[in-house]
Structure 1
Amino acid sequence: MIRLLVCLATLLALTACQPPVRLMPAPAIFLNEHNLFAANANLDRSAEIQVFYATNRLAFGPSGAPAYTVFPGNDLHLGVATLDIGGGGRSWDWLYEQSTQASAERRPQLLVNSMDRKASVAVGSREDAPGEEALAFFRQIDQALAGSADPDLTIYVHGANTSVGRATAQAAQYRHFTGRNSVVLSFLWPSAENFMRFSHDVSKAGQTAPAFAQLVRMLAQHTRARHINVIAYSSGAMVASPGLAILGTPAEGYDPASVRLGEVYFPAPDADFRQFVSELQVYHGYPRRVTVTVNMHDSVLVLSRVHQRGSRAGRPDPTELSPEDAQWMVEASRRLDFDLLSARAADLPGMERRSHIFWYDHPWVSSDVLLKMLFHFAPEERGLQRNLTADDLEYWTFPEDYEARLDAVMDELVQAAAAQRGETSTQ
């Protein structure tokens, strides 16, 4: 018993050592006179924000205040997290200013106030019989969707060395910058929350793929989400990519199209490149679009390549692919719903050359993420520039006049929304 208490205390201490999540810089589309808050007819003008969560971490403690360990358990725990941006009961006017102005000042923290577990489902159990508590949880998601301008549900899958608090806060700030128009669920896999235990994360991420696939199938079966989107950051790709391959494999009584996959986005994916491409070939026809954003100077992925002895999908070495797989990638980039984006410091003013966090830290890239996820725009519709490698692989970059292109995209969205309101009012 004493040994167990010591272990639990150690786990909590590791979590406490995690640096705080601070509100990311405002995406460039929030610096435009038209921002996404204005599109939310039911905007909750509060510094408090909620996201749903699901985790296969081993849990202990009461359902209203559970503690989740760094070890995998036998259940998927489903719940609601409540967070506060800034702390101390900050006003909406203050938060709106923080969210719509470019500022080099210290950004406010996102603080987790509560993790309320609503239900638990055994990993490996039938998706069509989740139990009444889980069904009530799915109805709660439907209620959130009914009040949202975005009819899709987005699952955020965090990276390595990430605590429950950090992963939940990262999901919450993404929801915040959708103008709070999107319903977001944070998938909390059992990271060791310690950079020195990366091998633990690699092992547990791969083992979690079936639980992730089970969650997606349950959400598709028991919610009214139009699509289920996935953002899998860094080592989150080790969970989501094999999980999507499971979802893309037909089986007796199961049609992969039934899970209604929408946008799939891999920013700086820390997954074995060859395996990633192999898995992509299994599921590529089912999402609306799959996007991978790479930084060929990403310092985190340099270290991961040394540790894993193979290039990473977010910093790929094309020579590792077989001729057949390399040709498939060319075909996918040219004719299938697969997009490869290059995030280069030379194209992105102010970006640190070796950045691993560019997708939410740089206002241009975060704006591109939002346009993809919210509006299902293809790269050219989002203002990106098309390029070809010597091998005819298509990829996209941010052009010098990206801000002007972005303003034009936002103006078109505003005009389309105004026209729709006019049509609705005359009917």
Structure 2
Amino acid sequence: MVLAFLPVLCAAFVSSCGVGVQPLMPTPVLYTESGHKPLDHLPPGERWKERRVYYVTNRSRQGGAQRISYGNGISPDLSVGTSLIGFGGPDMTWAHLNRVSAESERDDVVELSIAGIAEFGRIPANSTVSQAAGPEAAAFWLKELNESIDSSRDKDLLIYVHGAKVNFYNSCAFAAQLDHFLGRDMTSLAFAWPTHQNILSYVSGADVHRAYESAEALADLLELLGSRTDARRIHILSWSAGARVATRGIALLRERHPNESAASLRRRFRIGTAYFAAGDVPSHEFVAAAPAIDSLVERIIVTQTDHDSALESSSRIMRGGMRIGQQGNDLNEDEIAVLRSLKHLEVVDMSEGTEKRGFDIVGHRYWFDHPWASTDVLLSIGTDLSPRERGLVPGGLPMQWDLPPDYPERLRRLPPPTSFRRWNR
């Protein structure tokens, strides 16, 4: 039975978690409707095309000192460093990049590239916070990270956790694009866990196992960042299989400190938004971890759509039932009661209201490729606005929110996005 479905699943994932060169994502409707460009506010000294992304990876390192790369092997240690992501080719000017970053239709494809990688050091697995902060374990990286946070207009930190079937480059490129459309005001960090570049490794369970193993590393990272950085808040955006890493990683963080109050842990770890975009984590599994996650974060956002072929195939062929990124659920009454009891959960249903607005928001990359969906990602991470203030309307459940037909008009009422964090309540 599994073999019969493999072609279907492979076809579903071909267009979802690609490993090729990434083009600049479509411009979020936030900018096309407002007439503002995401980079207009940057001073002359910051107007260069490349963008630095910090990274943490438990991928095994390849290459020598002159050419650093990371392969598909899993390492017991965490490598930390920075990658420099280039936007466009050598002929692209800053003015051109700023212009196309606000266009709904582009004549040019802006490709992203890694212009350089600098590994600063390695942190041993299961090391204590004091060990990880020592001179032998990437202390200089922490110093650089803090300097970036302190010098940024927005003192928050964004961690991007990728999905299956991607490589190290992909994780850094996606983090850079999100950072780019957040106005380059925030420090971004790519958490690159070692998935393979083929879907069979995920379907077989090999990369699922790696996702849960990498959750330990993510929890280690959150411990380190909470104790050794100046970040005002730490946001976590996970996509697809990355939701398994984030779900287990955040819950594990709570489990490690059973005798400490949730209020104390929230002050220590300062986790802001935990955003699960098109999450490929079984709903039953997510619900089991949700109370622990809810106790640590300021808000949990789960996006759903009624037609995500990758999640449909995953839930049909692999174990666990429906995924949190699918519209609808297969939860029992007790599990639904758990969700209703959460204080910080927001479920954004991208498909509700399709008939009135005249189109659906579907696929596995909709949160990234659709200008309406990507706008809510930016507003959820870059501001403290409530769902209603972000332009959403209440849905059929207490925690559900929908995108209304007049969503672009609602966005026009927001202040100019010259600095996201100025929109705080």
User: Which band: TM-score by shorter chain?
Assistant: 0.7 to 0.9
What's the RMSD between the two structures over aligned residues?
2.4
2:184 to 147, 163, 180: 180
Cα separation, partners in 2 of 1:155 and 1:298, compared to 1, 3 Å: same
Task: Output the CA distance in 2 between the equivalents of 1:245 and 1:263.
Answer: 14
Cα separation, partners in 2 of 1:209 and 1:378, compared to 1, 3 Å: same
Task: Output the CA distance in 2 between the equivalents of 1:223 and 1:209.
Answer: 20
Shift of 1:259: 0.9
Shift of 1:42: 7.3
Q: Which residue of 2 is the match for residue 166 of structure 1?
A: 170
1:40-76 C-alpha deviation (Å, 9 max, x unpaired):
4576212211100000111133355322121211100
8 Å CA contact 2:100, 2:106 repeated in 1:
no
Q: Which residue of 1 is the match for residue 153 of structure 2?
A: 149
Secondary structure in 1 aligned to 2:237? Answer: strand
Task: Output the CA distance in 2 between the equivalents of 1:85 and 1:124.
Answer: 36
Task: Output the CA distance in 2 between the equivalents of 1:87 and 1:281.
Answer: 46
Tell me if 1:409 matches 2:419: no
TM-score (normalizing by structure 2): 0.87
What amino acid is aligned across from residue 381 of structure 1 in structure 2? E
Secondary structure in 1 aligned to 2:143? Answer: helix
Q: Which residue of 1 is the match for residue 324 of structure 2?
A: 313
2:344 to 337, 355, 363: 337
What amino acid is aligned across from residue 209 of structure 1 in structure 2? A
Secondary structure in 1 aligned to 2:326? Answer: coil
Greater share of helix residues, 1 or 2?
1
8 Å CA contact 2:87, 2:110 repeated in 1:
yes
Shift of 1:89: 5.0
Q: Which residue of 1 is the match for residue 69 of structure 2?
A: 67
1:110-125 to structure 2, matched below 5 A, reads 110-125=112-127
Identity percentage of aligned residues: 29
Task: Output the CA distance in 2 between the equivalents of 1:406 and 1:245.
Answer: 34
Cα separation, partners in 2 of 1:109 and 1:380, compared to 1, 3 Å: same
Task: Output the CA distance in 2 between the equivalents of 1:37 and 1:348.
Answer: 33
1:85-164 to structure 2, matched below 5 A, reads 85-88=87-90, 90-130=92-132, 131-132=134-135, 133-164=137-168
Task: Output the CA distance in 2 between the equivalents of 1:138 and 1:348.
Answer: 49
Task: Output the CA distance in 2 between the equivalents of 1:266 and 1:282.
Answer: 15
- Across the two proteins, how many residue pairs are aligned to each other? 395
What amino acid is aligned across from residue 212 of structure 1 in structure 2? L
Secondary structure in 2 aligned to 1:285? Answer: helix
Task: Output the CA distance in 2 between the equivalents of 1:156 and 1:263.
Answer: 12
Cα separation, partners in 2 of 1:26 and 1:316, compared to 1, 3 Å: closer
Q: Which residue of 1 is the match for residue 26 of structure 2?
A: 25
What amino acid is aligned across from residue 400 of structure 1 in structure 2? P
Secondary structure in 2 aligned to 1:306? Answer: helix
Gaps of 5+ in 1: 1-16, 419-427
What amino acid is aligned across from residue 59 of structure 1 in structure 2? R
Shift of 1:347: 6.8
Q: Which residue of 2 is the match for residue 394 of structure 1?
A: 399
What amino acid is aligned across from residue 19 of structure 2 in structure 1? Q
Task: Output the CA distance in 2 between the equivalents of 1:417 and 1:58.
Answer: 40
Task: Output the CA distance in 2 between the equivalents of 1:38 and 1:354.
Answer: 31
Task: Output the CA distance in 1 between the equivalents of 2:91 and 2:126.
Answer: 42
| Structure with more contact order per residue of length (Cα contacts < 8 Å, sep ≥ 6) | 2
Cα separation, partners in 2 of 1:348 and 1:122, compared to 1, 3 Å: farther
Deviates more, 1:234-243 or 1:56-65: 56-65
1:12-411 to structure 2, matched below 5 A, reads 18-31=19-32, 32-41=34-43, 44-63=46-65, 65-88=67-90, 90-130=92-132, 131-132=134-135, 133-198=137-202, 199-249=205-255, 250-251=257-258, 256-257=265-266, 258-309=268-319, 310-315=321-326, 317-319=328-330, 321-332=331-342, 336-344=343-351, 346=354, 354-389=362-397, 393-411=398-416
8 Å CA contact 2:361, 2:370 repeated in 1:
no
Q: Which residue of 1 is the match for residue 6 of structure 2?
A: none
Task: Output the CA distance in 2 between the equivalents of 1:234 and 1:416.
Answer: 27
Task: Output the CA distance in 1 between the equivalents of 2:242 and 2:99.
Answer: 32
Task: Output the CA distance in 1 between the equivalents of 2:127 and 2:409.
Answer: 51
Secondary structure in 2 aligned to 1:179? Answer: coil
Cα separation, partners in 2 of 1:155 and 1:35, compared to 1, 3 Å: same
What amino acid is aligned across from residue 283 of structure 1 in structure 2? I
Task: Output the CA distance in 1 between the equivalents of 2:28 and 2:210.
Answer: 33
Secondary structure in 1 aligned to 2:23? Answer: coil
Task: Output the CA distance in 1 between the equivalents of 2:258 and 2:65.
Answer: 35
1:66-107 C-alpha deviation (Å, 9 max, x unpaired):
221212111000000011111225210110111011115452
Cα separation, partners in 2 of 1:65 and 1:317, compared to 1, 3 Å: same
8 Å CA contact 2:60, 2:74 repeated in 1:
yes
Task: Output the CA distance in 1 between the equivalents of 2:355 and 2:113.
Answer: 33
